[in-house]
Chain A
């Protein structure tokens, strides 16, 4: 039986910002692309209003806080935020309570995501049990479980021990999964509160030196090269890490890297009022770093944008700086920040946006039905973007349970007009379609 919910005619959409076309979707798959297409009886019609059509966005790095942190976010509220942000697949980091270091927990996350049904929620498994960095978690069991874990990470913590990291990469290579590293040498960041530099020194905040990231990236690239394993570097923040990544890629190391929207836009200049909404790990760095991130993303040295969406309830943020938890909301602002920092200055066109926010992320984790071309025979999984819209960010109006957006009051370009997952509209005009 054909599920009529997955039949759709999208009228007047511009794939990658090019010529306007109509797309007929049947059973979740694009069956015809042309102009003046007629809607078969009973087919829902989505008037795309000449907006830009992109493949659905894929986020390799979110924190949905469930289980254990439901006061900050749930899989349901996080899925709402994802759908509204144009995302059709998200990778939920394992630093929950309990930690997602067993098949039971990752299967629970996957199943909750399917029950909500707005976005493909892929659990990321922990590399080490309890994120303690001492003993490998059961990577194989998680990879072959119903959750089909594609990526493992101790994100929030670095796999700091070089021997554990080596073993993780070697073991992962046989499973054909990716180890995603939170690159931070904790010995160099003991008590760190802010990017080590002029601003932190003036504010009396203990410094998080860029070398703590750069040295781990260099070490891990060497380990990945020897293991023949796939390494993904989470949230690159320092311009010095880029040179290391470029050299490793030139050597043929299987390394990919992500940058967050906030590391493309925001700098440590925002810290002067001590508002912990600006506290994040790795920390906001300098204008030279944000500029280097943009250029590296355009060049492809940094492969993808990932949000590191990290909701925190107000009791964890409305505190003195040192007591506040690091992290910022990101799902509903990511595309706008990318438009602002990459598209408007001419660093990326819409094909480029599709590459860094959909195609490459899907490729890194080997997702078969995400990040696909907009073409006949391909899944109808899209983000429809109104490129001319402007909106003012209000944390309280975002779908997440928490409101810790650093963009509060900021006017940003571009809005997600609709999100489509395998022919089903999941969000439209700023509202989730349940």
Chain B
């Protein structure tokens, strides 16, 4: 694995290998007082974030530190053309400073692909190599989120293959949904997207999943449900009539929780909008896997850094 840009680049064996590594790292570190492995000592990991983020950036930073990598956080704001230095120049500058891995979050879909392309071209002339990890690009993908979701589902369900997973909400603007559809289907799950037509992209029919509009009808047959955040700006964008109607139609409340089979895990990539897509009582119910997802996020990102910088372990 050279970069991690899209789940589409992972076959089932590679994805499973990453999840297995994450699981082993978790077991290794479990209960340890000093949670630090020497694996990436002397390696430099830079997070380059063009968007506000707490959990993803901190998660990568913790992952790097637990592997003994030197981690550096760069927060860059603004788009290339309007505000000075281009994305190309910024990313090549960071590569040139010796970054072994650059973790990128950017509001433009495909930004990580572009940076990887520039880095590879530069590597061709300088002989140095920088791995690029996509930590969320526009409305395209968020591969490590899908990996941590799959890790959580494996823990809760034993396996992902053959399970029916519902993803509910703003699929149109969700990079989490795109990565999850790809990864879960690659791992053999049956994915159902549940959303109003206005929040589904044209072309979704060609995705490896099924599409539904009625949440209540789907809940009883789901093995897990993943709620997507509804961003505030969508509420005023005419995608649905009102926050109240959305919450009534697509929010996961206690009544709907009862429609799910007993103990069905409820996932949410966060940050949650309590009372909108998820009721507070559901967010805090035993089914809710939200904090487990966050914990697994660190191990999954350790696994990604491990595979990228140290090579896949035997």
Contacts and interface: CB of A to CB of B under 8 A. Distances in A.
Contacts of A201: 201-204, 206-207
Interface stretch (B108-116, B147-155, B269-277): B108-116
A197 B111 CA distance: 20
B88 A200 contact: no
B86 interface: yes
Given A319-B86, A320-B87, A274 B110 contact: yes
Nearest to B86: A319
Contacts of A205: 109-110, 138-140
Nearest to B8: A202
Contacts, number: 85
Given A319-B80, A320-B114, A199 B203 contact: yes
A321 interface: yes
A321 B108 contact: yes
B97 interface: no
A214 to B, nearest CB: 15
Interface string B185-215: 0000000000000000111111100000000
B141 interface: yes
A202 B106 contact: no
Contact of B140 (A198, A204, A275): A204
A203 B109 contact: yes
Contacts of B138: 204-205, 322
Interface in A279-338: 315-316, 318-323
A207 B88 contact: no
Interface residues of B, number: 29
Nearest to A321: B110
B202 A197 contact: yes
Interface in B227-272: none
B135 to A, nearest CB: 14
Given A274-B110, A320-B110, A323-B79, A198 B88 contact: no
A205 B109 CA distance: 6
Interface string B135-172: 00111110000000000000000000000000000000
Given A318-B86, A320-B87, A321-B109, 7 more contacts: A197-B202, A199-B203, A204-B139, A207-B202, A318-B88, A319-B88, A320-B108
27 contacts: A196-B203, A197-B202, A197-B203, A198-B205, A198-B206, A200-B201, A202-B178, A202-B203, A202-B206, A203-B110, A204-B140, A205-B109, A205-B140, A209-B202, A273-B113, A273-B117, A274-B110, A275-B117, A315-B81, A316-B81, A318-B88, A319-B87, A320-B108, A320-B110, A321-B111, A322-B109, A323-B81
